[in-house]
Chain A
């Protein structure tokens, strides 16, 4: 099956701990994105990458880091500097070709703080 996978489905973080959320896609998409969603709210962009080995900050990048070493993978690290990490994290991908800009989403990872 083609699609976007995120793991784990649930993740627990202790105070002061860094945790990494996985996002993999086999759609051959160039661009990948990380969003944060708080209860009852919309999606806010954390980081995005339009091509391998390149990424840009979104609207709420503080306390997060990413890497894009492979086209199919875009892991997100929630660092200890992120003081309010409890949220639903969504990964998406798209091909930035004209007429194909739709972003497709993974199933999400829910991060909880112990």
Chain B
């Protein structure tokens, strides 16, 4: 079935390294994508978003890349810090689903000092 999923359930990096978190989606009708960060016991926090008419968008220390050809989304975190340790979710909005979002399963990012 159609889904939004992540390639790796866990990712461990050293402090100061760059992190790349990947997400695959299968619905070519999706027009909007979001990355969320969720710390333990808290609600998801918006990080960055991108529309389907874009390939790349940058924020503060984060970059989202969208490859529509292979239906792949990635989140890059520069100079990863211990405070970046969390679960990261991608979400997609499908054109046929109104305002609903479909979430991936999440990747646990652990930053080692």
A residues lining the B interface (CB < 8 Å): 4, 6, 31, 33, 41-43, 45, 48, 50, 58, 90, 92, 94, 96, 101-108, 110
C-alpha gap A1/B1 in the complex (Å): 41
The minimal Cβ–Cβ distance linking B4 to chain A, given in whole angstroms, is 9
Interface contacts (Cβ under 8 Å), in number, total 48
Stretch at the interface among B54-62, B69-77, B92-100: B92-100
Checking B36, B45, B49, B99 against A48 with a beta-carbon cut-off of 8 angstroms, the contacting residue is B99
Asked if B106 contacts A90 (CB within 8 A), the reply is: no
Say yes or no: A104-B46 contact (C-beta < 8 A), given A42-B89, A96-B98.
yes
Asked if B99 contacts A94 (CB within 8 A), the reply is: yes
B103 within 8 A of A: yes
> Could you say which residues of chain A place their CB within 8 Å of the CB of B99?
31, 48, 50, 94, 96, 101, 103
